[in-house]
Amino acid sequence: MTKQTITNVTPPAQLPVSRHLLTTANVHHDALLRRIRGEFREMPGLALSLYQAQRMWNLHRNECERLLDDLVGTGFLTCSPLGVFMLADSGRAGA
């Protein structure tokens, strides 16, 4: 019996799975952004700390931070020096 060496083996493609997971994560992230925007629009005076936002939307800290940072980055929300998030045009940013 002769011993064979296998060379140039291509590992199974995992890109479709990764792409699917990324798409699912993006859909989830976008849905949460829409939900949070809706809450702030429905309650124009709403002002939440990170902890309060986590509790309100039942999110882990990292995910909540990422969502709020995205909304601040787009100019939808503003964050006060005390760490309170509110609508950017609410006029309460200096409060």
CATH of span 19-87: 1.10.10
For range 9-32, the mean pLDDT: 68
Give the Cα separation of 44 and 42 in Å (integer): 6
Instruction: Check residue 95 and give its pLDDT.
Output: 45
| DSSP structural state of residue 43 | S
Which sequence spans correspond to the domains of the chain? 19-87
* CB contact at 8 A, 67 and 32: yes
Instruction: Check residue 7 and give its pLDDT.
Output: 60
pLDDT tier for residue 13 given thresholds of 50, 70 and 90: low
- pLDDT tens figures, 31-81: 999 999 999 999 989 999 999 999 999 999 999 999 999 999 999 999 999
pLDDT tier for residue 25 given thresholds of 50, 70 and 90: confident
Instruction: Check residue 56 and give its pLDDT.
Output: 95
